[in-house]
Amino acid sequence: MANGLLGMEFGSSRLKIAEVRDHKLVKFFAADMPDNIIRNGEVVSMDGLSDFLKDVLKEQKFTAKKVCLAVPDADTIIRRLQFPLMTEAQLKVNLPFEFHDFITGEKDDYLFDYAMIGIESDESGKDTGMDLLGVAVSKQKMLDYQTMLRRIGLKLVEAAPASLAIGCLLNRLVPESRNRDFAVLDLGYHSSDILMFSDGVYDTKRTYEIGCETMAQRIAEQMNCDIHIASLHLKQNKDGVLDSEAVSDISGEIAVNVMRAVNYYTYEKRDNSLEVLYVTGGGAWIEPLVKQISDTVPLKVVLLSSLKNAAVSDEEALISGSAACGICFYGE
């Protein structure tokens, strides 16, 4: 890592870039994405993204050229899988069939990869099966990202789903989490994502289509203003907007959704040891929202920004760019 890595995340509304050198975050930057580049959480112009990214890298003086990409979860399929014991060659043949009901088109249109979690044994100690995490992603989508980065002199060296990247960051910040159950709440602009980890490994995810945008929209209706102006009021707590009915109502709705997701998971996984909910994402800056969640959810609520250490000491990076930071530590 002597030459540095650029961790990148193209979120639903913002670009996040983290530069890591010698296993330490040295620079972080986030910027709103122009509407003509990303729409409804999807990149609609790779050329536009390339030009925008080139300008940001130059203006902010990022120097690393190797990119680790936190691929949006919407572009990937993640599955926790169990296989009978088999060779690596056999696994590569069989893995695509586990995604048959989840992909569109032919399996040859996708890239498949996996991470081994553990080997299962019978009572005699004989190895009988494998527990692993499988991922599928469109070949064309990854080629588009690779081409876009190459166009501005960057090289894609690592890629993984954003949810797995966030898990890697937690393992870096809280080493004991590698062997514990925990949950992560990503309070995004368009949605709120609850990620569940079992023994430190990604298990499942629940998404609710309600986020900071919903809150801003409600404020815009009450103030009779544009949603972008309402978003600024929300970020700056202008005119005491954080004490408004709109913020209170949406905070309550998000908190109840998180509580339901946690309760359902703990009911389905009776042997879980879930105790902590880590909170990240732009909504983590909204104090009434975090307080409502803490008062509603039966878990200890911890802001990622409170976990800063020698590797990642930038609070904004921990809240706004957890996936961009985490992908740089992927596989460590």
Q: Which domains does the chain have, with CATH numbers?
A: 5-73+141-166 (3.30.420.40), 75-139 (3.30.1490.300), 175-306 (3.30.420.40)
Asked whether 219 and 234 are in contact (CB, 8 A), the reply is yes
Cα gap 54→34, rounded to integer Å: 14
Q: What pLDDT sits at residue 317? A: 96
pLDDT number for residue 120: 85
* pLDDT for the residue 293: 98
The string of pLDDT tens digits covering residues 33-52 is 887 888 766 788 999 999 99
pLDDT at position 185: 98
Give pLDDT, residue 235. Answer: 86
| Residues lower than pLDDT 50 in the chain | 1
According to the model, what pLDDT value does residue 2 have? 53
Q: For 71, how many CA atoms within 13 A lie in the half-sphere containing its CB? A: 23
pLDDT at 249: 95
Provide Rg for the chain, Cα atoms: 20
What pLDDT, on the 0 to 100 scale, is given for residue 41? 65
pLDDT digits (tens, 9 = 90+) for 191-226: 999 999 999 999 999 999 999 999 999 999 988 999
- The token duo for 84 is 């009978």
pLDDT at 124: 85
Sheet holding 24-32, edge to edge: 24-32, 14-21, 5-10, 66-71, 155-161
Question: Which secondary structure element, helix H or strand E, spans residue 91, and what is its range?
Answer: helix 88-94
Q: Write out the DSSP string of 172-204.
A: HH-GGGGGS-EEEEEE-SS-EEEEEEETTEEEE
Q: Output the pLDDT for position 34.
A: 85
Give the model's pLDDT for residue 122: 83
The whole-angstrom separation of Cα 104 and Cα 252 is 37
